[in-house]
Structure 1
Amino acid sequence: MEFFALIQSIVLGLVEGLTEFLPISSTGHLIIAGDLLAYTGEQAKTFEICIQLGAILAVCWLYRQRLLRVVAGLTREAGARQFALNLVIGVLPSAVFGLLLHTMIKEHLFNPVVVALAMIVGGLVIFLVERRERKPRIAEVEQMRASDALKVGFAQVFSLIPGTSRSGATIIGGMLFGLSRKAATEFSFFLAIPTMFLATGYDVYKSWHALAQQDLPFFAVGFVTAFLSALVAIKGLIRYVAHHDFTIFAWYRVVFGALALFYFLR
């Protein structure tokens, strides 16, 4: 693998891992970073999806004991079955709309201008939500009902628009529907697991023709980099939400989106 290709893979892996679980849009950052690094096209889109799997595996690793307890309790614990059911229900809306709109989104919305606009709009939404006075009715993920999971699932559909942020849509959506900031953040992590496994598998299946054996090292470096950097980002976000709101991410989105819009429209 050439040196510049190695740098591309590492940078994009870092961007993915550090932004996947923050409400600032990993896909949006990857599209813009890929444009700046001159890595665009069909293969680039598939690479971006694949390295997201590395970030999702970081969630699986950090929450492995909790996930294993759920799996072990499926046959005997109502709480474990409800948790698993909530994940299935939560992923259904984006799975359905993703299948229906997959081609259109990849062909028409994967561009820096759409990302910049979505970043700004998403930032303004966070501002509005954080300004509202609210008293969460759900403090922990385990208290969620199927109806709560479905509402968050429909909020996640908005993340199909590049630049919106999957984590941002689910966290802010969860808060709007009565989840505490901690519960909304954790459910966003868990919901990412089936969502991104399905998205990655489907995208690789559809784009298999664009891959070649010589691409494997490039994909592997990005994958591992995304995994390691996501570990850092997840731990940092959990500590952050214990004492802060998401206003700083709203400011970041608006400023970053405005700068990106100026750069790509100049």
Structure 2
Amino acid sequence: MSIIETLKVIVLGIVEGFTEWLPISSTGHMILVDEIIHLKQPEDFKNMFMVVIQLGAILAVVVMYFHKLNPFSPTKKPAQKRATLELWSKIILACIPAAIIGLLIDDIMEKYLMNGYVVAATLIIYGVLFIVIENANKSRNFEMQRVGDISYQTALYIGLFQLLSLIPGTSRSGSTILGAMILGCSRSAAAEFSFFLGIPVMFGASFLKIVKYGLHFTGPQVFYLILGMAVAFIVSVYAIRFLMGYIRKHDFKFFGYYRIVLGAIVLVYFGITALIG
């Protein structure tokens, strides 16, 4: 087990934890960071690691929102339990488009679109969209202020927006938050519903990656996976708290500008690397 590799895993866990929930593309950051630090593991394991590490991030949502998402809580009244079950029904409905399409085109996306140029383009495009949409939202009164206000139809439409995140660099949270706001959800409702959508999506994606890779882990690889997930979990707790506190007073335009700058950096970095190579 290498100390240097362990430090790299910690760095990747920190990056995953911060970027998974902010609408700035965890994939874009992970690709860029790995290009710089170079995790020295077989390519198949690295691809699987980049997805499975997200389990740590998603567990942060499960822990932080456990009461809200638990339909069997003894402290909830019957009406609250029904509302929670209804929320889960909407979450599952919203996940169906990505589950079906994602299974069909996962290999194609990984083969042809998992590169720096695609990531840079989507970072910039969605950065511009965040700024444009937030400018349009200046005087808008959102019809759906809370997650419970989201209808089944709106949930399905948000699920369709989630399909955009199959393109690397788009950001799952970015596409669902943008879509939810376009459909009339407040910033906090859009962010929370995006968090909840991540639970089945990431568990499913991680399960598929593990099945595809197989259980052929070495001892150090098991350690790296657990360490990466643990770091991502801890950092995610702070990232989620930060985002929910931030959007109570601000809009998402800052993240739009950040995406544009990061996209330009990614584009320049891979352009220079190609010229040197």
Matched residue pairs, number? Answer: 266
Q: Percent identity?
A: 38
- Of residues 92, 100, 115, the one that matches 2:96 is 92
Displacement after TM superposition at 1:66 (Å): 1.2
- Is the contact between residue 70 and residue 84 of structure 1 (CA under 8 Å) also seen in structure 2? no
- Distance in 1 between residues matched to 2:227 and 2:88, nearest whole Å: 32
Identify unmatched segments of 5+ residues in structure 1. Answer: none
- Of residues 99, 102, 122, the one that matches 2:126 is 122
Query: In terms of mean alpha carbon deviation, does 71-80 or 204-213 score higher?
Result: 71-80
- Distance in 2 between residues matched to 1:95 and 1:177, nearest whole Å: 21
Alpha-carbon displacement from aligned partner over 1:218-258 (angstroms, at most 9, x marks no partner): 11111111010001100110100101000100000000110
Alpha-carbon displacement from aligned partner over 1:181-224 (angstroms, at most 9, x marks no partner): 11001101111111111111111111126633331111111111
- Is the contact between residue 27 and residue 171 of structure 2 (CA under 8 Å) also seen in structure 1? yes
- Of residues 126, 141, 145, the one that matches 1:139 is 145
Displacement after TM superposition at 1:98 (Å): 0.6
CA RMSD of aligned residues (A): 1.7
Where 1:136 maps in the other structure, the secondary structure is coil
- Distance in 1 between residues matched to 2:194 and 2:71, nearest whole Å: 19
- Distance in 2 between residues matched to 1:145 and 1:91, nearest whole Å: 15
> TM-score, length-normalised on structure 1?
0.95
> TM-score, length-normalised on structure 2?
0.91
Alpha-carbon displacement from aligned partner over 1:151-197 (angstroms, at most 9, x marks no partner): 11001110111100000111111000010111001101111111111
Deviating beyond 4 angstroms after TM superposition, the runs of 4 or more aligned structure 1 residues are 70-77
- Of residues 200, 203, 207, the one that matches 1:201 is 207
- Distance in 1 between residues matched to 2:256 and 2:270, nearest whole Å: 21
Displacement after TM superposition at 1:74 (Å): 11
- Of residues 57, 67, 82, the one that matches 1:78 is 82
Query: In terms of mean alpha carbon deviation, does 184-193 or 214-223 score higher?
Result: 214-223
Displacement after TM superposition at 1:75 (Å): 8.1
Identify unmatched segments of 5+ residues in structure 2. Answer: 273-277
Q: Which residue identity lines up with residue 166 of structure 1 in the other structure?
A: R
Query: In terms of mean alpha carbon deviation, does 132-141 or 239-248 score higher?
Result: 132-141
- Is the contact between residue 123 and residue 253 of structure 1 (CA under 8 Å) also seen in structure 2? yes
